[in-house]
């Protein structure tokens, strides 16, 4: 965010100091023992549980809730982590309201589902607080696997491979591991450095070496990785950011929402993070909402989120949309950016209303803005990869790419939804296929 020192209206410390800790407190505080027992008691323990089907990692939800209800949260955690090794973070960031909890029988019957996400967090936090790693590494196989990307897919794949006895080296361009969990989600969804703590806990399995500051490309070619390892798993995410493609986009004050969120996540003191008075966020997904809400929490006077389609087409869940509205974010739909206006730095941004088919209506409006965040999707940003399927690496159901010995998963691959829990499932499943292939 290099424009912060150049753009009038963008400043740090807009709020009294005590407001920052309150604004960025834990969104969903952990349940205490009694609250967990009460919440678990609401579960029907369905034999054919629809919540399990709705979970991308297929966690045995009725089993782990029953284990909590019987006073064994550590056993519940192992049930969760056996399917989702990043179950602690997923309990914090997964849109459970549109996955397991939406499918809950209690939601269907009463409109109030079992608090599956908070119960999952209670179990996994209990286990991690005890310093326990419930999995053991198998005897070494002598096989070496390279994992490129230390985000949810890469870490999930690395852990499962290490469990099977393979030696895994994880390469990542950033200064610390964690990927999206560390750099890409709202600060209030994961407090107290939990993402880093979860990575440290995961690495207790042994057999995993993490090398940071290592990007795929110069000095770390795919061909060399293949030559030096028995298999390669690509979990490189989407590094490029789509452009608005409008006049004035290069003006000071126009920034990437992804970079803004990363800066927030790494800030030791939120009061030092600059923010504008009039902030406009363009996009309709989770990243857009995270950027908009946090802009408001930092003290922006007016924050407007603008999306080109209708509200029902937004990728952000209804819960996230309602969260944004509750924090004072204005949401405008069916509007597409036309131009960024200002003398060197952004002062206004012009939009044109669209119909449901994205056709322009000819009706325009302007919003005052001293800061604009782009959250309109990301791209691979490179072509030296296995065969692509549109903008992502083409993979089969187990993550195999068109290149022998190379698998891929997470946001960079053409699998499922761009969710943390989906990335974990893809990393896990690819690891099982890699293991079967190496031991055949």
Same domain (yes/no): 201, 161 = yes
Q: Say how far apart CA 272 and CA 382 lie, in whole Å.
A: 34
Predicted pLDDT of residue 1: 46
The number of folded domains in the chain is: 3
Query: Is 11 inside a domain boundary?
Result: no
Same domain, 312 and 396: no
Residue 326 lies in a domain: yes
Residue 3 confidence (pLDDT)? 45
**Do residues 181 and 250 both lie within one domain?**
no
Check if the beta carbon of residue 41 is closer than 8 Å to that of residue 69.
yes
Q: 228 and 151 in one domain?
A: yes
Residue 75's pLDDT is 98
Q: What is the CATH number of the domain that holds 332?
A: 3.50.50.60
Q: Are 340 and 246 in contact (CB under 8 A)?
A: yes
Output the domain CATH number for residue 64.
Answer: 1.10.1060.10
Residues 274 and 286 in one domain: yes
**Residue in the block written with tokens 């549980």:** 49
Say yes or no: 70 and 168 in one domain.
no
176 in a domain, yes or no? yes
What pLDDT score does 4 carry?
A: 45
Please say which residue of 80, 99, 129 terminates a domain. Answer: 129
Same domain for 430 and 355? Answer: no
Let me know whether 350 and 327 are in one domain: yes
Question: Does residue 93 sit in the same domain as residue 150?
Answer: no
Domain that holds residue 373: 243-377
Query: What's the sign of the alpha-carbon dihedral 285, 290, 296, 299?
Result: negative
pLDDT value of position 378: 87
Answer yes or no: is 348 within a domain: yes
**pTM value > 0.85:** yes
Tell whether 311 is covered by a domain: yes
* Residues 150 and 232 grouped into a single domain: yes
- Which of these three, 327, 354, 377, is where a domain ends? 377
9 within domain boundaries: no
Per-residue pLDDT of the chain (440 residues; tens, 9 = 90+): 444 445 778 999 999 999 999 999 999 888 999 999 999 999 999 989 999 999 999 999 999 999 999 999 999 999 999 999 999 999 999 999 999 999 999 999 999 999 999 999 999 999 999 998 999 999 999 999 999 999 999 999 999 999 999 999 999 999 999 999 999 999 999 999 999 999 999 999 999 999 999 999 878 999 999 999 999 999 999 988 889 999 999 999 999 999 999 999 999 999 999 999 999 999 999 999 999 999 999 999 999 999 999 999 999 999 999 999 999 999 999 999 999 999 999 999 999 999 988 999 999 999 999 999 999 988 887 778 999 998 899 999 999 999 999 999 999 999 777 899 999 999 999 999 999 999 99
- How far is C-alpha 145 from the chain's CA centre? 24
Q: Do the domain assignments include residue 3? A: no
Same domain, 177 and 220: yes
The residue among 377, 395, 423 that closes a domain is 377
Determine, yes or no, domain membership for 166: yes
250 and 207 within one domain: no
């Amino acid at each position: 965010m290099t424009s912060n020192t150049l753009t009038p209206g963008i400043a740090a410390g807009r709020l009294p100091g005590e407001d920052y800790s309150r604004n960025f407190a834990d969104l969903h505080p952990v349940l205490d023992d009694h609250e967990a027992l009460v919440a678990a008691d609401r579960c029907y323990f369905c034999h054919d549980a629809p919540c399990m089907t709705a979970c991308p990692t297929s966690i045995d939800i009725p089993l782990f809730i029953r284990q909590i209800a019987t006073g064994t949260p550590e056993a519940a955690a192992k049930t969760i982590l056996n399917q989702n090794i990043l179950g602690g973070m997923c309990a914090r960031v997964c849109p459970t309201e549109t996955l397991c909890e939406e499918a809950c029988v209690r939601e269907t019957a009463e409109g109030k589902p079992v608090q599956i996400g908070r119960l999952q967090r209670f179990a996994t936090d209990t286990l991690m607080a005890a310093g326990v790693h419930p999995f053991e590494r198998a005897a070494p196989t002598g096989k070496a696997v390279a994992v490129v990307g230390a985000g949810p897919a890469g870490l999930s794949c690395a852990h499962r491979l290490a469990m099977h006895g393979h030696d895994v080296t994880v390469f990542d361009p950033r200064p610390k591991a964690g990927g999206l969990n560390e750099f890409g989600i709202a600060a209030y969804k994961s407090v107290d450095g939990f993402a880093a703590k979860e990575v440290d806990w995961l690495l207790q399995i042994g057999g995993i070496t993490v090398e940071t500051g290592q990007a795929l490309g110069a000095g770390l070619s795919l061909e060399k990785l293949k030559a030096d390892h028995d298999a390669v798993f690509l979990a490189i995410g989407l590094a490029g950011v789509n452009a608005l493609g409008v006049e004035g986009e290069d003006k000071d004050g126009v920034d990437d929402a992804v970079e803004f969120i990363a800066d927030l996540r790494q800030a030791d003191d939120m009061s030092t993070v600059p923010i504008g008075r009039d902030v406009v966020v363009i996009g309709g997904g989770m990243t857009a909402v995270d950027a908009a809400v946090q802009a408001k929490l930092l003290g922006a006077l007016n924050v407007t989120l603008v999306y080109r389609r209708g509200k029902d087409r937004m990728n952000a869940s209804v819960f996230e949309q309602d969260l944004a509205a509750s924090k004072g974010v204005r949401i405008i739909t069916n509007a597409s950016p036309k131009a960024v206006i200002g003398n060197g730095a952004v002062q206004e941004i012009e939009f044109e209303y669209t119909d449901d088919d994205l056709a322009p209506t000819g009706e325009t409006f302007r919003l005052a803005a001293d800061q604009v965040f782009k959250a309109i999707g990301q791209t691979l940003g490179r072509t030296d990869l296995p065969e692509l399927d549109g903008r992502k690496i083409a993979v089969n159901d187990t993550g195999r790419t068109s290149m022998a010995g190379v698998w891929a998963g997470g946001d960079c691959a053409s699998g499922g939804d761009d969710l943390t829990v989906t990335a974990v499932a893809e990393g896990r499943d690819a690891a099982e296929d890699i293991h079967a292939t190496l031991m055949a």
